[in-house]
């Protein structure tokens, strides 16, 4: 059964999207590693150290798994994708030139892999999931005794709306609102201009708001209250 944290994270996301996104602090902020330490590990890998590559995998596997998990049906599928990502990283590591942070380069590979996966599995019903290791079936309801029922419903609806967005809008929402990347980092990951990040994110948020208002008008006051820090 999903945790209260998961339910609250989706309701917070809905509140931020519906309320105009004043916060500069992401829902889930990344704790960035030392670039120097990454540089040393990469140099060691390129010198032939398998242990150093294992250390890189251990350092970033949870982030990659969490990101990919938002495009997978279950943990097995996600693990397969994660292996594919790190295989690509190993094969392409010699092309990394340190002009960007390593994690943004890694996220670019992961995002592209996820996009390819969506293309291969376009007929499947893909769902957004929250937090590493939490994979839910589509017929399960989010229930938590510590969260009001209307917020639980908003969390479920938020997940469904985000999952239904076109890939480019879903990905940019995931990177910003769940992974906590800055606009600059998102531009590097997706290899797009900063202005494109801003406009695409605006359009993604607007699509979310439109879908919520159109299909679930009874939940609009709940999202509005959350965006203002209110409790219902």
Of these ranges, 52-61, 72-81, 210-219, the one predicted with the greatest mean pLDDT is 52-61
Q: Write the CB contacts of 71 (distance below 8 Å, at least 6 apart in sequence).
A: 81, 114, 117, 118, 126
Structure tokens, 182: 């800055």
Residue 23 has pLDDT above 70, yes or no: no
Of these ranges, 25-29, 65-69, 168-172, the one predicted with the greatest mean pLDDT is 168-172
In this structure, of 25-29, 59-63, 84-88, 173-177, the range with the lowest mean pLDDT score is 25-29
Q: Rounded CA gap, 126 and 4, in Å?
A: 23
Q: Rounded CA gap, 220 and 186, in Å?
A: 29
Structure tokens, 167: 């890939």
Q: What percent of the chain has pLDDT over 70?
A: 68
94: left (phi over 0), alpha (psi -120 to 50) or beta: alpha
| Average pLDDT of the residues of the chain | 75
Structure tokens, 104: 């943004």
Closest alpha carbon to 133 in 85, 80, 81, 62: 62
Structure tokens, 62: 């949870």
In this structure, of 39-43, 55-59, 120-124, 168-172, the range with the lowest mean pLDDT score is 120-124
Q: Where are the domains of the chain?
A: 4-227
Residue 106 has pLDDT above 80, yes or no: yes
Question: What pLDDT does 12 receive?
Answer: 58
Q: Write the CB contacts of 147 (distance below 8 Å, at least 6 apart in sequence).
A: 4, 7, 8, 11, 155
Question: What pLDDT does 138 receive?
Answer: 36
List, for residues 155-195, the tens digit of each pLDDT value.
788 878 888 888 889 889 888 887 888 999 999 899 899 99
CATH 1.10.1740.10 fits 4-227, yes or no: yes
Torsion of CA 8, 12, 15, 20, to 10 degrees: 180
**In residues, how long is the chain?**
232
- Is the whole-model pTM more than 0.95? no
Structure tokens, 48: 């032939």
- Grade residue 16 by pLDDT with cuts at 50, 70 and 90: low
């Amino acid at each position: 059964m999903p945790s209260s944290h998961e339910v609250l994270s989706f309701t917070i996301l809905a509140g931020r999207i519906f309320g105009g996104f004043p916060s500069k602090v992401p829902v889930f902020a990344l704790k960035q590693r030392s670039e120097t330490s990454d540089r040393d590990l990469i140099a060691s890998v390129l010198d032939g150290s398998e242990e150093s590559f294992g250390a890189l995998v251990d350092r970033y596997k949870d982030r990659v798994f969490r990101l990919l998990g938002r495009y997978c049906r279950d943990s097995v599928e996600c693990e397969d994708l994660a292996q594919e990502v790190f295989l690509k990283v190993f094969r392409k590591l010699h092309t990394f030139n340190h002009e960007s942070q390593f994690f943004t380069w890694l996220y670019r590979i992961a995002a592209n892999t996820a996009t390819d996966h969506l293309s291969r599995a376009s007929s499947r019903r893909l769902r957004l999931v929250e937090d590493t290791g939490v994979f839910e079936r589509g017929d399960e309801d989010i229930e938590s005794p510590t969260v009001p029922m209307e917020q639980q419903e908003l969390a479920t609806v938020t997940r469904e709306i985000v999952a239904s967005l076109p890939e480019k809008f879903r990905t940019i929402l995931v990177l910003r609102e769940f992974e906590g990347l800055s606009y600059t980092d998102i531009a590097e990951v997706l290899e797009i201009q900063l202005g494109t990040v801003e406009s695409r994110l605006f359009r993604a948020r607007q699509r979310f708001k439109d879908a919520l208002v159109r299909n679930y008008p009874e939940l609009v006051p709940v999202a509005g209250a959350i965006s203002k820090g209110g409790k219902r």
